[in-house]
Structure 1
Amino acid sequence: MPGTTVRAVAPHVLMAELSEPFAYSQAWYRRRGAMLVEITTEDGITGWGEAFGPPELTAPIVAWLAPLVIGQDAMAREAIWQALYNRLRDHGQRGLVVEAISAIDIALWDIAGQALGLPVHRLLGGPLRMEIEAYATGFYRRERDDHLHYLVEEAGQRRSEGFRSLKLKTGWGLKQDIALTKDFRNAIGRDCGLLVDCNHAYDAPAAIAYGNAVADCDIGWFEEPVPPEDIAGYLEVKARQPLPVAGGEASFARWGFAEMITRRSVDILQPDVAACGGISELKKIADMASAFGVRVNPHVWGTGVTLAASLHLLAVIPDNPPGLFPRPPLLELDRSPHPVRDAVTSMPPVSAEGRVRVPEAPGLGVTVDRAALKRFAA
């Protein structure tokens, strides 16, 4: 289309200190950031993307890739994706490189939707659903000793906001995790959905022991039970304990998901649009998974840019299995502290029934606050 030639590609590194640090099983967060990519066309359309990885590491890769994008037709998303991936194929088939490509790809989809006057989900084939049930992510470790007390307080707050399902972070030691999970389930009641995520803190024997010990807690899925490289461990955990196994946020591009899908190493696949290769690649991954009967429930962690991109994909991911009474995918909604996220974009409201509307404005349907970009610029 005339005027859709890319004129500029600009990464924005954003960072903010947290008033109260929190931890997951691998590290403490004392500050949180984001890396947004702004792509501008010759006719003045601006598209936004976001990368999942550490902002100070993904931004230089975007800057290095920018000359390969500038001057290209922004509507040629597939050609640009292939050119970027192939240019660094010998050096970056996963991790930071693919996360940087993800941000560029998301921004190009945003541009395409604006140029055509259509929301991204229309470009992806049209929505199967326009409202997505959300679950609340949070429930991290704090620098306090009364862990169950503050987790139950947080659960009450999320329930009052409309959430019907919560995701508990584990990975603090096997005995402690078993006790915490049982106590948390008893505290929140059986009418609330419960998911658990240990962020690959266990090996297969420990994950199997945990899954069997909490089997009566009505847990929707057991996320990242073992390190992402350990496909055999995933298969062992699936076979020897009853909880549905989820994973995939640390896998990249269709090739990184192929073994997980073909070997059915998980029950629920969790590609992240800001990590796995962008909207273009997550759609391919979801289609592959559908052919093998594997459920897809995207991982979401970032600002409203990633959230909007994820909502458009959730609108088109097929029910698995299809039927009159389907089990549609859920939206992960991070409710942990994130000053950058809360300022740089507006977040969609959660209804009293715990549901979020898919954006209907052209492109991603998200607006970035430029004053916030300046305030949090690192």
Structure 2
Amino acid sequence: MTSLSFTLTSIEAFCIRVPVKMPIKVAFGTFRDRPMVLLRVVDTEGVEGWGEAWANWPASGAEHRARLAIDLGERVVGRRFESPEAMFQQLSRELEVLVLQTLEVGPIAQVIAGLDIACWDLVARRAAKPLHQMLSDREVSRVPVYVTGINPDQPEVFAAARQAEGFKAFKLKTGFGHDKDVHNLQAMREVLGLDAVLTCDSNQNLDLPSAVAFAQAIAPLNLSWFEEPLRVDAPEADWQALARASSTPLAGGENFHGLQFDQALASPVLQVIQPDITKWGGISGNASVARRAVAAGKRYCPHYFGGGISLLASLQVLAAVGGEGLLEFDAHPNLGREAVVGDLLPVQDGSVPVPTGPGLGAVPDLARLVGHQTWTGRIQA
């Protein structure tokens, strides 16, 4: 039996911010650079593993998360854990009071997630197995993908270019006004054709009347899902009312954590479950959510908008659990992705290959990123 136990001797954090040439617009703001927080762990056998902590907004929060990873890493190095999941659960319990003390529920959860990913990568590398094979016995060679981060300015042009590259599924950022959003989706459907998978994401931007009106307006376009139309903390009655009024399946989960997933899985409101592997849970938490989502007949479509480590981690969990889910794939230029993934994930016929190398399947090329590092730190036993 493959051993999952480990003792870490060091944790390193790398904060990276790369300016973008074309700003990326979402309902809550504009991305003018792409931040990334990478974590490298090493065990007593000298095996390393790589993780990533969520840090995509605001960019100025990335350095905070990198420093926090070193501070919290003091609780991890030198301790023996029976598995990455055991570390995830133990560290989460130990930090509950700190969360209450600081109200840093997000950054703390994101650092724990990054450490969890790194430790899973480590134990899989030590076993010389792809990470998905540590999570299940499924035989899988490819996973389907969809283009994300499509701006509201002539989205059909960007999407058509991606379609020519081999993509078959697309998600438009909405929340920029009813008429503009509906027009953009109509233009995309006309250009991409009836066979293309089309979805939209409002980033919690609408109230119930606006969401109902929008759902009714887009019904003829046959979207595969309507993502985060309402605030995550909107009354359950509002979500139920929207689900009844919408012929388009509702999606969400990137801003859930912990017990919120239990509630979402028990409810018929969300048909597409979208946790972010770097925002909460890492491999341990997300694999559990994904398995239960598939068992409940829902689609597990992991949320992603980060660097290459989080993309590979999301891919590995999706490959392990199967179902009808799609991998979110950022098709914008992104050095934080490219310096990890390289040419490992060529898109063909709407899907990408599952890496066959050990662990996540790749490691960051730090030489390509060194000019964009804004902070680095290290803690050792």
Q: TM-score, normalised by structure 1?
A: 0.90
How far the C-alpha of 1:27 sits from its partner, in A, is: 0.4
Instruction: Tell me, yes or no, if the aligned pair for 1:74 and 1:111 is still in contact at 8 Å.
Output: no
2:372 to 368, 373, 376: 376
Q: Find the aligned partners of 2:173 and 2:78 in 1 and give their Cα distance.
A: 45
SS of residue matched to 1:243: coil
Correspondence 1:30-179 to 2 at 5 A: 30-53=32-55, 54-73=61-80, 76-92=83-99, 94-141=105-152, 147-148=153-154, 151-179=155-183
Report Cα offsets for 1:179-201 as digits up to 9, x if no partner.
Answer: 22222222222232211111111
Deviation digits for residues 190-240 of structure 1 (CA, Å, limit 9, x no counterpart): 232211111111112111110101100111111111111225232221111
Q: Is the 8 A contact 2:148 2:172 kept in 1?
A: yes
Mapped to 2, the partners of 1:290 and 1:131 lie a distance apart of 18
Residue ranges of structure 1 left out of the alignment (5+ in a row)? 142-146, 320-327
Secondary structure of the 2:198 match is strand
Do the aligned residues in 2 keep the contact of 1:18 with 1:339 (CA within 8 Å)? no
Distance 1:345 1:370 in 2: 12
The Cα shift of 1:290 comes to: 3.6
Structure 2: gaps (5+ residues): 56-60, 375-381
2:15·2:62 contact (CA, 8 Å) conserved in 1? yes
> What residue is the counterpart of 2:275 in the other structure?
271
Query: What is the SS of the residue equivalent to 1:219?
Result: coil
Give how far 1:176 is off: 1.9
Query: Cα–Cα, structure 1 residues 231 and 290, in superposed 2: closer, same or farther, change >3 Å?
Result: farther
CA distance in 2: counterparts of 1:14 and 1:86, whole angstroms: 29
Q: Which residue in 2 is equivalent to 1:323?
A: none
Contact 1:225-1:234 within 8 A present in 2 as well: no
Report the Cα distance in structure 2 between the residues aligned to 1:152 and 1:183, rounded to whole angstroms.
6
- Indicate the larger mover: 52-61 or 157-166: 52-61
Identity of aligned residues (%): 30
Residue 228 of structure 1 is matched in structure 2 by 232
Q: Counterparts of 1:314-333 in structure 2 under 5 Å?
A: 314-319=318-323, 328-333=324-329
Partner of 1:324: none
Secondary structure at the residue paired with 1:16? strand
In the other structure, the counterpart of 1:188 is: 192
Q: Does the 8 Å CA contact 1:302/1:341 hold for their aligned counterparts?
A: yes
Deviation at 1:129, TM superposition (A): 2.5
Residue 202 (structure 2) pairs with residue 198 (structure 1): yes
Partner residue, 2:379: none
Partner of 2:314: 310
Task: Name which of structure 1's ranges 20-29 and 86-95 shifts more when overlaid on structure 2.
Answer: 86-95
Runs of 4 or more, structure 1, over 6 Å off, are none
Aligned AA (1:360): T
Structure 1 residues 47-70: Cα deviation after superposition (integer angstroms, max 9, x where no partner): 000112342232232112101110
Which letter does structure 2 place at the counterpart of 1:138? Answer: G
CA distance in 2, matches of 1:288, 1:5: 30
Q: Deviations over 1:132-173 (max 9, x none)?
A: 1111113114xxxxx22xx22211210111001111111101
Q: Map Cα deviations across residues 20-62 of structure 1 (whole Å, 9 max, x no partner).
A: 2221000011111101111111222110001123422322321
Cα distance, 1:377 vs structure 2: 0.3
Give yes or no for contact 2:156–2:184 (8 Å, CA) kept in 1: no
Which protein, 1 or 2, shows the higher relative CO under an 8 Å CA cutoff with sep ≥ 6?
2
Aligned length: 362
Distance 2:12 2:264 in 1: 34
The answer (yes or no) to whether the contact 1:41–1:74 under 8 Å persists in 2 is: no
Aligned amino acid, residue 29 of structure 2: A
Partner Cα separation in structure 2 for residue 52 and residue 304 of structure 1: 12
CA contact (8 A) 2:199 2:225 kept: yes
TM-score scaled to structure 2, two decimals? 0.89
Q: Which of 210, 214, 226 is equivalent to 1:210?
A: 214
Q: Distance in 1 between matches of 2:243 and 2:5?
A: 51
Q: Structure 2 counterpart of 1:243, which letter?
A: T
Deviation at 1:103, TM superposition (A): 0.3
Q: Matched residues in 2 for 1:106 and 1:155: separation?
A: 31
From 347, 363, 367, the counterpart of 2:359? 363
User: Over residues 78-114 of structure 1, what are the superposed CA-to-partner deviations in whole Å (9 max), with x where a residue is unaligned?
Assistant: 2211221012113438422111111000000010011
Q: CA RMSD in A?
A: 2.0
Instruction: State the partner residue of 2:17.
Output: 15
Pick closer, same or farther for the CA change 1:263–1:29 going to 2, 3 Å: same
